[in-house]
Amino acid sequence: MENPALFAADTPKRRLLALYEKHGYARYRVGRFEEYDLYAKNRSFITGSAILTFTDTDGRLMALKPDVTLSVIKNTPVGESLRKLYYAESVFRAPDPESGFAEIQQAGLECIGKLDEYSVAEIVSLAAESLGLLASAYILDVTHLGLLRGFFADEGIPEAHWDKLLTLAEAKNTHEVRGDAWGLSDTSAETFRRLVHLRAPLEEGVRELSALPLGPRAADALSELASLAVALREVPGIWLDLSLKADTRYYNGVVLRGYLPGVPSAVLSGGRYDGLVRRLGRDAGAMGFAVYLNLLDRLAPGRPGPDADVLILDEGADSAALLRYVRELTASGARVRVDRAVPEGFRYTRLVRFQGGEARE
């Protein structure tokens, strides 16, 4: 059962879903339960390791969904054309084990099939537009996972050190890079520092990267980013940040994180996850993102708006006339409450007294 409050006029969720529908994405509805086995096999894809489980009446071990993407991929047949889907669902996770499980509301989209340059650009653009619908200022960080990994391969850095370097990059910590010990020459250590700290609007960032001495593997990833930057030239708020990290067993290519001022962590997360699709036995690519709706509460701290636009006090009204009046107001988009006295603590914008067939302010 959907929470009716979420369908009140002009909620962030409604704005996002309308955006996705406008671009031809179809609503995907999922149940709350899924067989636990799906998550057990793809445990590290899910943020936070704890999963709420229960035994179903037929003995199967089930889970309250900690994630939507896995179910979408598992249940979506792949054909020649792209499957463009959006969703708005709750997931159940324990992001902080000490705080227990939480119901997290997400809205997002998934595009599954043979992705091309346009599909990727459209998804990044929709991620930026999603953020733009939620706040007047936003930042969408973009990276290509092949860039740093390609750089490590080009520089001949032993794979045993890649994860350490990527973890340091994620924290923009370059003071702990032990060049010699990890197979980085002075020059490559300096290039690594520049890559990690590079921060610029996407197109400008790509230009800066092009000036660096990158080898062929990193250059391949850069070339994909360069095409993306050109396609997204007119979309504001997209920045290059190579420090974003994602599990390469699932993710490849472009990865996204979205931020809004006043919200202390990323409100949007996504990327290309061909690896996950292949792990689930599909020969296709996929990309998508999720917006964490719970975090949006942080955008409007303090006292919420009024409980109704119009409070009508029934002071011996003619019921038919009052009902007609209320229907006219609600049809014009107003939120209306009728009562015989002002309810305690109730906040309203207009007060109307209704007597007989007459309304007076």
Helix (H) or strand (E) holding 310: strand 308-317
At 61, phi and psi to the nearest 5? -85, 120
Shortest Cβ 301–other proteins spacing (Å): 12
Q: In the window 325-354, what residues touch other proteins (CB under 8 A)?
A: none
Q: Dmax of the chain from CA atoms?
A: 89
Closest to 214 in 3D by CA, of 195, 230, 228: 195
Q: Give me the least distance between CB of 298 and other proteins, in Å please.
A: 8
Q: By CB under 8 A, name the one of 45, 259, 273, 354 that touches other proteins.
A: 259
Interacting positions 82-141 with other proteins (CB under 8 A):
137, 139, 141
Q: CA–CA separation, 333 vs 352, rounded Å? A: 17
Instruction: Name the residue nearer to other proteins (CB basis): 176 or 339.
Output: 176
Q: Which is nearer to other proteins, 137 or 230 (CB)?
A: 137
Could you tell me which stretch among 6-14, 27-35, 69-77, 263-271 binds other proteins (CB under 8 A)?
A: 263-271
Q: With binding defined as CB under 8 A, does residue 75 bind other proteins?
A: no
| Residue that has been written with the tokens 């290519």 in this structure | 253
- Which residue type, as a one-letter code, is found at position 17? L
Using rule CB under 8 A, residue 264 touches other proteins: yes
Say how far apart CA 89 and CA 171 lie, in whole Å. Answer: 31
d(CA 310, CA 307): 9
Q: Which residue of 22, 27, 41, 172 would you call a contact of other proteins, by CB under 8 A?
A: 172
Q: One symbol per residue from 199 to 218: x for binding other proteins (CB under 8 A), - otherwise; what is it? A: x-------------------
Which residue, 98 or 234, is less far from other proteins as judged by CB?
A: 98
Handedness of CA 68, 73, 77, 80 (dihedral sign): positive
Axis-axis angle for helices 216-231, 117-134 (nearest 10): 60
Which residue, 199 or 353, is less far from other proteins as judged by CB? 199
d(CA 354, CA 340): 10
Q: Is 261 in the site for other proteins (CB under 8 A)?
A: yes
Min. distance of Cβ 193 from other proteins in angstroms? 12
Q: Using alpha carbons only, give the angle 175, 177, 180 rounded to the nearest 5 degrees.
A: 135
232 touches other proteins by CB under 8 A: no
Question: Which parts of this chain interact with other proteins (CB under 8 A)?
Answer: 137, 139, 141, 171-173, 175-176, 199, 239, 259-266
